[in-house]
Structure 1
Amino acid sequence: MMPNQHVVPHGDKWAVRGAGNDKVTRITETKREATDTARQISRNQGTELFIHGRDGRIQSRDSHGNDPYPPRG
């Protein structure tokens, strides 16, 4: 299974990191860039995306994988 993607603060920049990885996948200037990159990776891999704030706490999450509760439609 592919790791979930996390957008995390990285000094005065932002980084994309796969869950459980010590190394970051990509460092960006803005949170928006990191989020866009992480969302694309997450969609391609069918994993979840976790977006953290500057304090390191999770602010939001987005599921691109096997959601146990898919919306009816």
Structure 2
Amino acid sequence: MDNYHLTKDGDDWKLQKEGSDRAIKRSETKAAAMEHMKGYMDGKEGSVKIHKEDGEFQEERTYPRSADPRSSKG
């Protein structure tokens, strides 16, 4: 499963694959970046770590939702 990060970068928000030097998508606002992230992850399997403006970890989302290991019993 691929890992991605949604982070603040200067004046923009960027979605970037872990280990890559280039952003997949840049947006002016976090809300716009979240919408782009949802569209990009549609049909893909991966984990997106979403960060706050100060860089601190906020939440993690798994795509597709059925691939989230925390949703299983046990």
Scaled to the shorter chain, the TM-score interval is 0.7 to 0.9
Deviation above 3 Å: which 4+ runs of structure 1? none
How does the TM-score come out when normalised to structure 2?
0.77
RMSD over aligned CA atoms reads 1.9
Amino acid at match of 1:53: K
CA contact under 8 A between 1:13 and 1:28: conserved in structure 2? Answer: yes
Moved more, 19-28 or 41-50: 41-50
2:23 corresponds to which residue? Answer: 24
How many Å separate the matches in 2 of 1:43 and 1:6? 16
How does the TM-score come out when normalised to structure 1?
0.78
Q: Tell me: CA distance 1:71–1:43, structure 2 relative to 1, closer, same or farther (3 Å).
A: farther
The structure that is strand-richer by fraction is 2
1:71 shift after superposition? 5.8
1:40 shift after superposition? 2.4
